[in-house]
Amino acid sequence: MTIRLLPQNLINQIAAGEVVERPSSALKELIENAVDAGATRIDIKIQNGGKTFFSVTDNGKGMTKEELTLAVERHATSKLPHDDLFEINFLGFRGEALPSIGSVAKLSLSSRTPDSTEAWNIKVEGGHKFPPVPTAHPIGTTVEVKELFFATPARLKFLKSDQSEYLSVKEIVNRIAMAYPNIQFILSDEKRQILNYPIVSDLFDRVGQVIGKSFRENAVPIDEVYDDMSLKGFVSLPTYSRSTGAEQYLFVNGRFIRDKIVIGAVRGAYQGLIGHDSYPVLALFLKLSNENVDVNVHPAKIEVRFKESAKIRGFLVAAIRNALAQNGFKTSSAIGIGALEKSQPQTFPPRKHIGVIENNRQMQMMSDVVSDVVPSQWATDYTLPHIGYSVKKDMPDTVPDEKHFSDSQQNNVPNESFVSEKKESSDSFPPLGYAKAQLYKTYIISQTLDSIVITDQHAAHERLTYEKLAHNMATHAQTQLLLIPEVIELSPDETAILNTRADELKDMGFIIDTFGRDCVAVREIPALLSQTDIQKLVQDLADTILEYDDTVLLKDKIKDICARIACHGSVRAGRVLTIDEMNALLRQMEECPTAGQCIHGRPTYIELKLNDIERLFGRKK
């Protein structure tokens, strides 16, 4: 077969296969061109999800007749003035979008510059270029695309439904609008206006426009600088999460990206704060010098390559962790509000004669419930009318004096786990309030100045235990020498990889030596892991190192083990606590930056504001 040069139109169609996958990908290129043109308003219109028609109109600097002619040629661009691929300060720069779209659709460009009294229009249909002609148009540019893929009908079958294509277009507009609050974005279809994001002066306002009010109420701000890098944006509280990563908006130098380094850094920052199947909501804007990032690695420009990926990952993890820590033990406001919204007053039928059996059954039910409230030494008797059963009331309004509870109490929680605060005045409330009762041997009810707080005692203490374990591991905690080394049989590859990583394992508190051909001898382990199944632990470590060969993941594996220990070593649901113990737990939570959620990402407490409760009962509107 003879080698030959492909015809220009076929070259353009091949390029279109990379750049123009669907209407949204073509619109992305056109909207980015409008942003680069200095527009302050961009109007996007679509029909049938963009399959039959879409257009982008901007009020940017426009193009002259000569520039319009060049714009539909391959590799023609105004965005590389110094011919340096690492000095890219624009979104679009490859110079392939317009000729690629024109090769598979009917393309029309109309434009006018500020210093010109006349506008020009040029058309490209299925790769055939028409000469420019005069037209009427305000300052700026309009690009219209009709019958996408009419010149390559085989590609039409790969397009999805109108609704799917519409959702993809909407997501593209959201991504670009997020990064440019100084531009108004309007999206319309053949029936209505879908989106209208007016210009705002604050990035947080634009983020709120796109993601929504709920995120604004549960977002933590980030503003960090390190060397030539800066990170701004907002991340959600760990208890405010989604089941997918669809609402994670990540930008590098104003460009939306999907990069495994950045995504991995986000995951690492939330490790131990959120469940493995949950994803935080966020909008992060990373800026760094052009020489440290290559954006020219993918036709769609959604992937980038970092020069110092480890440094960037560390910066991102530290910045996110710091932001979450500065917001203390705060938990999602949507949880308490959601609970109230689901609460509906119940209407009971008129009571008829109650027989002795039914009355006894009600008395037993009351007994079951009340037995789960705090012990009787903190209450006086009160007799319920018509039932004849004593329940507790008048819980103390102040915190009792400092007190420890004994090791003999169930679950073997150490003495230092709960240390009570001194008495406070009745008009002074700490953030989580003062404990009033324990319900169902699981939930602590406390009162603040303007709210009621319900705390899951197991989830809360689980978080505190985990933080202690993780801290001790990170600071080279005390190790425990095994009187009899644990000999564990592994595969040859697992034995070899543990031997290779012996120094790193030693730094983490593990002394593991080769023992024979396919065995290792475990001589020391971190003291905090003394109650762990050593064989399973070492097998897990070997499997992880062998699969990923990554020291960061190795440390993460240890954190997972800490999480399991914390879960089993914490105050369990079903245990009766004293008022001292409940208040001490609340005070420790207030000192822990991550106490708002357990290690599985679930909330440790919810807060019901008094105003909301009063509205629920009709006291306020």
Cβ atoms of 448 and 497 closer than 8 Å = no
Q: Bridge partners of 524?
A: 481, 511
Q: What is the per-residue pLDDT for 568? A: 55
Q: How many Cα atoms are found within 13 Å in the side-chain-facing hemisphere of 529?
A: 28
Q: What is the per-residue pLDDT for 373? A: 41
- Tokens matching residue 54: 């879409």
Cβ atoms of 325 and 237 closer than 8 Å = no
Q: What is the per-residue pLDDT for 618? A: 79
Q: What is the per-residue pLDDT for 545? A: 72
Q: What is the per-residue pLDDT for 414? A: 36
| Inter-CA distances, 417 with 524, 527, 531, 583, 620, Å | 27, 18, 19, 12, 41
∠ CA 532-538-542, nearest 5°, is 150
Secondary structure of 86-141 as H, E, C letters: CCCCCCCCCCCHHHHHHHHCEEEEEEECCCCCCEEEEEEECCEECCCEEECCCCEE
Spatial separation of the C-alpha atoms in residues 497 and 542, rounded to whole Å = 7
- Tokens matching residue 118: 């006349």
Helix axes 97-104, 8-19, angle to 10 degrees: 110
Whole-prediction pTM: 0.64
Tell me which residues of the chain have a pLDDT lower than 70.
1, 8-19, 75-90, 92-95, 296-301, 328-427, 472-477, 528-529, 544, 547-573
pLDDT in tens, 194-229: 999 999 999 999 999 999 888 988 899 999 999 889
Query: What is the residue whose two structure tokens read 């750049």?
Result: 19
Alpha carbon of residue 450 to chain centroid: 30
Q: What is the per-residue pLDDT for 382? A: 27
Helix axes 579-591, 457-474, angle to 10 degrees: 50
- Tokens matching residue 519: 């065995």
